[in-house]
Amino acid sequence: MRDRSRTNSFPTLAALLAGVIGLTGASQALGREVCKPALSISNVQFSKWQLPTLERKWTATVAVDASHCAPNTAGTFEIGFLRLVENGVDIEFTEEFVWMSPAVNVGVDFWANEAVGRSWINKVSACPCAK
């Protein structure tokens, strides 16, 4: 049986990409500069197992330096993870979050037999530049 979520996601992804390219082109055509905040991960922790699910929560603080952005702006970013698992295949995946200055707290649930091999900031959305 085919995985419909994969086959149906391509047109959606293509439309989203076209929209982002169109918006980027429109903002450049209007002469507005585009900036990006600098993000960094700190205070990483894993909670103890939560009964009855045996899940653990990975939490971190993401510091946001949006000094180049217009005041009171926000956007999205992804954190990439290398998920290590005791009796299985390690995989990389991403989770999307919203950034706001000066920092945001984030969390992702993992099973008891999983751990984070590494994490990284990925795909930070642009913001209007400060004037």
Each residue of 1-19: pLDDT tens digit? 434 443 444 444 344 434 4
Q: Which residue is listed with tokens 């969390």?
A: 107
Read off the pLDDT of each residue in 23-32 and give the average, rounded to a whole number.
Answer: 50
Candidates 58, 33, 38; CA nearest to 48 is: 58
Q: Which residue is listed with tokens 């991960």?
A: 41
How far apart, in whole angstroms, are the C-alpha atoms of residue 118 and residue 27? 35
Cα separations in angstroms, 54 against 29, 93, 97, 114, 116 = 52, 21, 24, 11, 16
Mean pLDDT of the chain: 82
Q: How far is CA 25 from the centre of its chain?
A: 23
pLDDT, position 104: 97
Under a CB-based contact definition with an 8 Å cutoff, are residues 119 and 68 in contact? no
Q: How far is CA 57 from the centre of its chain?
A: 16
User: What are the tens digits of pLDDT across the range 84-126?
Assistant: 999 899 999 999 999 999 999 999 999 989 999 999 999 999 9
Question: In the chain, at which residue ranges do the beta strands (DSSP E only) sit?
Answer: 34-35, 38-46, 55-65, 74-85, 91-100, 103-111, 114-122, 127-128
Candidates 129, 117, 104; CA nearest to 34 is: 129
Q: How confident is the model at residue 53 (pLDDT cuts 50, 70, 90)?
A: confident
Q: How confident is the model at residue 27 (pLDDT cuts 50, 70, 90)?
A: very low
Q: Which is more confidently placed, 46 or 26?
A: 46
